[in-house]
Amino acid sequence: MVARHDETTDPVLLDGLLQARRGTAFFARKLNELSDMDLDAPSLLPGWTRRHVVSHVGYNARAIARLVEWAATGVENPMYPSLEIRNHEIDFGATLSPIALRNLFDHSAIHLNVEWRDLPADSWHHKVTTVQGRVVQAEETVWMRTREVWVHAVDLDNGASFHDIPAPVLARLLKDISGAWSSRGTDKGLLIEVTGHSSTLVFGDVAGSSPVKVSGPLAAMTAWATGRGTASVTAKHGVEAIAPPAAPPWI
């Protein structure tokens, strides 16, 4: 049988799909390293066990696949009927047996990958609506999934860190987060600087007269921005060193 390939030939989109698939494989590896009993332990997300993380990532793949199906058929197919149902689904998934929970992740990831693979090239620009109500082109589903699998692989608390996430993914995620802060006005008085990067990355209140300057390497700054720790992050107010402030909410 001849192997099937992605319908799209767009090099940017294909690179994005590669990052999403690599992230999925990385999450799968960190999950497979955990025993069934390990799944009951807490994750790095407050109030969530590792079971909740796996459940969320599995059902997220199904939800994103619905958007891709919407783009392919033109028939509206929302991610979730409501946020309440989404949250109930995650809680329910966390109660599944270990084998069922692992199958949820495996089968949903395969389903999404097939939907992406078979989406006609001209359908990637069709408009769909996210659970937050954003109207986006179908190609945005690739990035939506990319950040989920890479970040939540860290949340499994099984040795993965933001240093394992590819630099292009980190840079785009930090840009997205700072953009969300800017649109809400929650970045006032906060200047974010990435150090040790090939090009200068500065976000936040660049015009402020006396902002709190938060600095650190790309992986550390992205971890801080997502609310996942302050390791290797420093902060100054003027010339005075201070403890890094909590990052504003981004979701």
Residues 91 and 197 in one domain: no
Q: Evaluate if residue 2 carries a pLDDT over 50.
A: no
State the CATH number of the domain containing residue 213. 3.30.1050.20
Chain segment 82-91, per-residue pLDDT in tens: 889 999 999 9
- What is the average pLDDT score of the chain? 94
Residues 141 and 190 in one domain: no
DSSP string, 174-231: HHHHHHHHHHHTTTTTEEEEEES-SS-EEEE-TT-SSPEEEEEEHHHHHHHHTTS--T
Residues 135 and 202 in one domain: no
Q: Evaluate if residue 67 carries a pLDDT over 90.
A: yes
Residues 179 and 93 in one domain: no
Residues 82 and 104 in one domain: yes
Domains in the chain, number: 2
- Tell me the residue range of the domain where 176 lies: 167-242
Across residues 162-177, what is the average pLDDT?
95
Last residue in a domain, options 104, 139, 160: 160
Answer yes or no: is 91 within a domain. Answer: yes
C-alpha dihedral sign at 45, 48, 51, 52: negative
C-alpha dihedral sign at 163, 169, 172, 176: negative
237 vs 251: CA distance, rounded Å:
26
Chain segment 97-133, per-residue pLDDT in tens: 999 999 999 999 999 999 999 999 999 999 999 988 9
Answer yes or no: is 251 within a domain. Answer: no
Across residues 54-66, what is the average pLDDT?
98
**What contacts 109, CB < 8 A, 6 or more positions away?**
24, 28, 58, 61
State the CATH number of the domain containing residue 19. 1.20.120.450
Tell the residue number behind the tokens 């807490």, with chain if given.
Answer: 42
Tell the residue number behind the tokens 């999450």, with chain if given.
Answer: 27
Residues 98 and 123 in one domain: yes
Residues 63 and 27 in one domain: yes
